Amino acid sequence: MLEVEDLHAYYGKSHILQGVTFHVRPGEIVSLLGRNGAGRSTTIKTIMGEVAPVGTVRFKGERIDGLKPHQIARRGLGYVPENRDIFPTLTVRENLLLGMKPGKPKGAWTLERVFELFPILRERAGAPGGVLSGGEQQMLTICRTLMGEPDLIMVDEPTEGLAPRLVALVRELLERIAAAGVAILLIEQKLTIALGISHRLYVMGHGRIVFEGTPERLRADEAVRREWLEV
């Protein structure tokens, strides 16, 4: 579904991504791991067109490298940024409705379905987004992306700064999304979460992919964890 081949990206003269290659199949949860500064967030920003790409990015068989972010989003690729980017003065319901793509027919992710799956958002539907807790805002951001009927969503650090109870809620949300047939490319700092829900994982270091494999392989590879993940 998503194929990234020999992807490079630059911030000014700094060469951040240095030939990144990976893929995500339909319905998979794939995690992109690595220490801060490894290039994980830059990877998904480059895929989304926020950073100029050098290389090949295909989504559902079509090249999307060089397209603008809104053009990429309309092709069914969703993006949940680390900073959440909700509209704090708009209600939860209004934030969700903003996720709908103009002219796109209603599909699986209706407002009612989101509320059925996640009753906490129904309870807060009339509340301004800014009064929600961090975990509730994260759920709102992910669900707003789903309202655009994506085939794949890229989620950047969804559990960052959340209490353990809310981390568990976000993990459950991601598993429900995948069970509904939406593929997920996940950037996650918590190794236990990534190992617990991913079908496959990639580890990045210095702007390159340094490991690809299943959770079982990564659990067994102490050298990779020590070299590229542990602090």
Residue 201 is part of a domain; what is its CATH number? 3.40.50.300
* Amino acid symbol at 165: R
Residue 156 has pLDDT above 90, yes or no: yes
Q: What pLDDT sits at residue 107? A: 67
Q: Output the six-digit token pair for 175.
A: 């598993």
Q: For tokens 């599909």, what's the residue?
A: 107
The rounded percent of the chain whose pLDDT value lies above 90 is 70
Distance CA 144, CA 140 (A): 6
Q: What pLDDT sits at residue 160? A: 85
Residue 221 has pLDDT above 80, yes or no: yes
Across residues 151-163, what is the average pLDDT?
A: 90
Domain count along the chain: 1
Instruction: Compute CA distances 161 → 18, 79, 106, whole Å.
Output: 29, 19, 34
Range of the domain at 54: 2-228
Phi-psi region of 8 (alpha: psi -120 to 50; beta: other; left: phi over 0): beta
Residue with the bigger pLDDT between 55 and 139: it is: 55
